[in-house]
């Protein structure tokens, strides 16, 4: 099973930007579609964005569409989440995960290889 590690989180003011990275270990990331989810205190983990194995198609939650972009570089076994115009409601722990079926599903249970997450805090 692939193992994933997230990085790039931090504290940013509203309107600012962050770029999250997710690196895969143990298996080539190119064999999986990938997704970002996030979880705020007291809330369920929610889908943010997903990308196919090739990177040619993406699926983005309406709450972040137009502000967040998911991309990948299979040569370096990495997936990225560029977050622009951040809002306080984007504050959460962000997780990446991999789907061996290659789909860009929003269903959390379809994913594996969850990392420890990276904290994103947006101040108002």
Residue-wise pLDDT tens for the chain (124 aa)? 899 999 999 999 999 999 999 999 999 999 999 999 999 999 999 999 999 999 999 999 999 999 999 999 999 999 999 999 999 999 999 999 999 999 999 999 999 999 899 999 999 9
Question: What pLDDT sits at residue 1?
Answer: 85
Give how far Cα 89 sits from Cα of 21, 27, 40, 58, Å. Answer: 20, 34, 9, 22
Q: How far is 79 from 100, CA to CA, in rounded Å? A: 15
Q: How far is 48 from 34, CA to CA, in rounded Å? A: 11
Question: What pLDDT sits at residue 89?
Answer: 96
């Amino acid at each position: 099973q692939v193992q994933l590690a997230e990085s790039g989180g931090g504290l940013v003011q509203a309107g600012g930007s962050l770029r999250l990275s997710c690196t895969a270990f143990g298996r080539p990331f190119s064999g999986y579609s990938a997704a970002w989810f996030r979880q705020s205190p007291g809330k369920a983990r929610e889908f943010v964005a997903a990308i196919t194995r090739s990177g040619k198609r993406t699926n983005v939650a309406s709450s972040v569409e137009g502000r967040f972009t998911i991309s990948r570089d299979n040569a370096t076994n990495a997936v990225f989440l560029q977050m622009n115009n951040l809002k306080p409601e984007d504050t959460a722990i962000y997780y990446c995960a991999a789907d061996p079926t290659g789909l860009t599903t929003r269903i959390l249970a379809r994913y594996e290889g969850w990392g420890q997450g990276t904290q994103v805090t947006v101040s108002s």
